[in-house]
Structure 1
Amino acid sequence: MDFKDLPQFRPAEIKTYHSNTYDRISPSTTKFDASGKTVLITAGATGIGYSISESFAKAGVARIIILQRRESVLATAKEALEKAYPNTKVETYSASQSDFQRMTEIIQSVGEIDVLIPCATYAGDMKPPTKDKKTEELAEVYMVNVVGLFHMVREFLALPATASGGPKSVIHVSSNASQMYFPGGSGYCSSKAAANQIITHFAFDEPNGNVKFYSLHPGAVWTALAEENVPQNAVVWEDINLPGDFAVWLAGPEATFLNGRFVWAAWDVDELIAMTEKVASDPNLLTITLAK
């Protein structure tokens, strides 16, 4: 399959597709109030996760908690962020998103979290055909991408209200793989679709509206995971700063109408805002569902 031929899956109302970050979602101008806020992000020390960590640091959050398995990359990220953004405290923990006991311990010890960003992902063996995949490996993919995500959010929701006030946010870093088939992708693609459904259910089951939930396709970004599975010339790669800045915008008040929805970092935010009434009137719009 030629990746250039894959569908774009954008709503008809979205005419503008951004490959680079832009002023409208700049952390320096966004309406997200970063004062006193704490952000916790898994896999936030490298790749897309680091870009998200940096964007929230640019926005001026008080504290960033980064979870990742490798101690070496955690130390490098902490040093770089604290040097560039001295007003933001960076704390790091070595942990896997699928280690439920460890995740519970960390979330409870952190105490106050305003924005939770599950970014860690596991693709497993991406070689076709599906019949040759091992059951144990598929289970491992789901343990990270679905069950680990569920556990993190559940523990996050059990925390008390934060001192900073205002609604909390969960920004699940998903993938457009949740919407498509590609060779070797049965575990990864299906787990991402399941994870999006988990986020939608959390959103629609949260009665008081004090927590907003989003699934975010970060874009086609050249990362270590992409390098392992996609030829570099297969697609036009996008700016790694785009998903980070878009995530800050999602955490702000302009995005609340998108609660429970799946959005792309490349979609223009003003064209999204113009869809507010349509989104409010259709609970299935921008979710994993059959196209109308």
Structure 2
Amino acid sequence: MNYTKTNHSAPYGSISPKLPALSAAAKSVLIAGASSGIAQATARAFLEAGCSHLALVTRRADLLSPLVSELKTQYPKANVVTFAADTKDTAALEAAFAGAKDAFGATSSIDVVINCAGYQPSLAPVAGKKQGDLKEWWSGFEVNVLGAATLARVVASHASPEAVVLQLGTAGAFFPAQLPMSAYAVSKLALVKLMEYFGAENPGLRVITVHPGVVAGTEGGKRMVAQSGLEWPSDDINLPAHFLVWAASDEAKFLKNKFVFANWDVDEMKAREQEIASSPELMIGLNGFPRNIE
């Protein structure tokens, strides 16, 4: 599933958070689903890029205590705050955004929102015969679609009118129907279209959906390996983290309302900036449609 000639499985120079062009020094960043491994690596990457205002949101904020202690020791000048909120809970999310802005200063806005919250239901066929199969199947939509939609509504009301919204997706949404992962793939495919609509309806925002690669060492990655019985080649967890820092920078403006892989080479994509920005590439479509019929 290549899009660029060069594909990466580890961080590389063009997405280094240390690059001046990728500086997050003037940005206030909020990460939802912050207890996941990729989210925590992303928090570190934004602080490395100079971010001084970072809000971490998860259902159980107490789980973040070791991470926050580590971050405050390593980046003592950064204001790192945590909030407990489920992405399906509008009131809790609104309180988190309000709390973050209060913590960052009266004139602060939330400039970058990253949604790492997601759920991978158990691998099972659509027509599973076990009691509770359908409830488990639908749970993917509860988190991956309803949660993302709820967060999107709060972002539209409470983040900067020109915020960057980065949503984690998955390449699995576009895989052929082979592994019994319909609950995950179908909910994530709906998520991609949801974010496409959200971006179109809020043209001041820059919305990008990102496949983070396959990080087998995360909780979700371990679950996929265990349930599928297959060995998955793993990407470095810092690849998506650094890519998200790049995606929040001005260099990635041309990817507005697109779906991209963290594995794709950013220099090759930048070389095709105008073509990508002005075409339906990297958006959901139907193979063979539209077709010119004479």
TM-score with structure 2 setting the length: 0.87
User: Residues 99 and 182 (structure 1 numbering): CA distance in 2 closer, same or farther, change over 3 Å?
Assistant: farther
Match of 1:80 among 70, 79, 83: 70
Aligned position for 2:126: 130
Aligned position for 1:217: 211
User: Residues 290 and 95 (structure 1 numbering): CA distance in 2 closer, same or farther, change over 3 Å?
Assistant: same
Q: Give distance in 2, aligned partners of 1:287 and 1:161.
A: 25
Count of matched residue pairs: 274
**RMSD, matched Cα:** 1.9
Aligned position for 2:276: 279
1:262 aligns with 2:262: no
User: Residues 230 and 288 (structure 1 numbering): CA distance in 2 closer, same or farther, change over 3 Å?
Assistant: farther
Match of 2:41 among 26, 48, 51: 51
8 A Cα contact 1:60 1:87, kept in partner: no
Aligned position for 1:288: 284
Match of 2:80 among 83, 90, 94: 90
Aligned position for 1:157: 156
Aligned position for 2:225: 230
The 3-state SS of whatever aligns with 2:285 is coil
Q: Give the residue type in structure 1 aligned to 2:135.
A: E
Match of 2:19 among 22, 25, 29: 29
User: Residues 241 and 103 (structure 1 numbering): CA distance in 2 closer, same or farther, change over 3 Å?
Assistant: same
Query: How far does the alpha carbon of each residue in 1:194-251 deviate from its partner, in whole angstroms, 9 at most, with x for none?
Result: 11111111222223xx310100001111211111121586222111101010001000
8 A Cα contact 2:7 2:265, kept in partner: yes
Q: Give the residue type in structure 2 aligned to 1:92.
A: T
The 3-state SS of whatever aligns with 1:225 is helix
8 A Cα contact 1:173 1:218, kept in partner: yes
8 A Cα contact 2:17 2:23, kept in partner: no
8 A Cα contact 1:242 1:266, kept in partner: yes
Q: CA deviation at 1:290?
A: 2.5
Structure 1, unaligned runs of 5 or more: 1-7
Q: Give distance in 2, aligned partners of 1:230 and 1:182.
A: 15
8 A Cα contact 2:111 2:159, kept in partner: no
Q: CA deviation at 1:46?
A: 3.4
Deviates more, 1:140-149 or 1:251-260: 140-149
Structure 2, unaligned runs of 5 or more: 102-108, 289-294
The 3-state SS of whatever aligns with 2:207 is strand
8 A Cα contact 2:89 2:150, kept in partner: no
1:20 aligns with 2:19: no
Q: Give distance in 1, aligned partners of 2:13 and 2:86.
A: 35
Aligned position for 2:292: none
Deviates more, 1:74-83 or 1:135-144: 135-144
1:175 aligns with 2:170: yes
Q: Give the residue type in structure 2 aligned to 1:82.
A: K
Aligned position for 1:202: 198
User: Residues 226 and 172 (structure 1 numbering): CA distance in 2 closer, same or farther, change over 3 Å?
Assistant: same
The 3-state SS of whatever aligns with 1:131 is coil
Q: Give the residue type in structure 2 aligned to 1:25.
A: I
Q: Give the residue type in structure 2 aligned to 1:196.
A: V
The 3-state SS of whatever aligns with 1:230 is helix
Q: Give distance in 1, aligned partners of 2:61 and 2:150.
A: 23
Q: Give distance in 2, aligned partners of 1:86 and 1:113.
A: 21
The 3-state SS of whatever aligns with 1:158 is helix
1:120 aligns with 2:117: yes
Aligned position for 2:185: 189
TM-score with structure 1 setting the length: 0.87
Query: How far does the alpha carbon of each residue in 1:47-82 deviate from its partner, in whole angstroms, 9 at most, with x for none?
Result: 111111110010111111111223442111111111
The 3-state SS of whatever aligns with 1:93 is strand
